[in-house]
Amino acid sequence: MDKNTNWIITRRTFLKSSVASLAGLTVLPLSCALNSDSKARQRTARFGIVTDCHYADADAQGTRFYRESLDKLSECVALMNIERVDFLIELGDFKDQDKPPAEKKTLSYLQAAEKVLKRFKGSTYHALGNHDMDSISKVQFLRRVDNTNIDSNRSYYSFDSNGLRYVVLDANFRADGIDYDHGNFDWTDANIPSKELHWLKQDLAAASGAVIVFIHQLLDGTGSVYVKNAAQVRQVMEASGKVLAVFQGHHHSGSYSNIAGIHYYTLKAVVEGQGLQNNSYAIAEVLPDSSITVTGYRKALSTQLTSDSAIPNG
């Protein structure tokens, strides 16, 4: 596994760390080349990603500032509206809980975070994280959020947008295949069950072009923050020949790797650090040649992800 983090910092990255509010987040073009090719720009797929808000009306613990996540998420949504991205997806651990946990309060934290996310003037999606089931069930979570045009009973699903297939996976299953539920799980025991693996194989086969995958827990290695059967999942994705990249959360410090030509970009967490200057969110642009430009805001890192062999956009 190649852990080389060949980050390319854009002008937006320099701007994001120096402003105190969204008003100062000046939107600048990534390059003259992109702006000069209007035809290519029209074919570009652009989407917003944010992860690990962990919102709760709770005192800070260590580096996690739970109450500040709503303001950070608000800044993200406002920028995504300005940028008019195709859709906005959050990659799990949307909310947190009290100690000891109270189901009613946990649900109120979820609803508060969802209310902010729904200020985005477009489609919104969620990937489930382990903390999303710390004191509630998957059913309770899914019935209180909006995955645009997706059945509310689906914890993993796919959708098409702007010529690409997007797959959202759910690794919140114990090794015995039982759903995470009301804290009945070990967060290090994350698994993609056989039923979901079979669905993934079929869904990738049905895709007419390139695919982007979203998941909370990591798929590019082994250890406590990784999906236990990640190697099986990678095998299915690699065999399809269609997956360009996987966008992940969970590992709050972020990371990047490339395995068998598939990019694995782990976004930094919203909840880490005090103040908007410690916010983190990004916009990914998939270009016609199957390269991906990731523009990070605040602490999120920016990079240009290139592919040796281009995959058609459908």
pLDDT digits (tens, 9 = 90+) for 65-89: 999 999 999 999 999 999 999 999 9
> What pLDDT digit, counting tens, does each position of 153-163 carry?
999 999 999 99
| pLDDT score, position 81 | 98
pLDDT value at residue 69: 98
Q: Rounded distance, CA 169 to CA 5, Å?
A: 24
- For the chain, which residues make up each domain, given as ranges? 11-18+44-305
Contacts of 124 (CB under 8 A, 6+ apart): 87, 88, 89, 90, 117, 118, 146, 147, 148
Tokens representing 283? Answer: 């916009």
Mean pLDDT of the residues in the chain: 88
Q: Is 7 a residue whose pLDDT tops 90?
A: no
- Structure-token pair, residue 81: 């509206």
Instruction: Give the burial class of 15: count Cβ atoms within 10 A of its Cβ; 0-12 exposed, 13-18 middle, 19 or more buried.
Output: middle
Structure tokens at 116: 């902010």
Task: Kindly indicate the confidence band of residue 195, based on its pLDDT and cuts at 50, 70 and 90.
Answer: very high
Encode pLDDT of 286-296 as tens digits: 999 999 999 99
Threshold 0.95, pTM exceeds: no
Mean pLDDT to the nearest integer, 268-282? 98
Residue 242 has pLDDT above 60, yes or no: yes
What is the CATH class of 11-18+44-305?
alpha beta
Confidence band of 44 (pLDDT split at 50, 70, 90): confident
Both tokens of 117, joined, read 């996310």
Of the listed ranges 29-38, 75-84, 102-111, 154-163, the one predicted with least confidence? 29-38
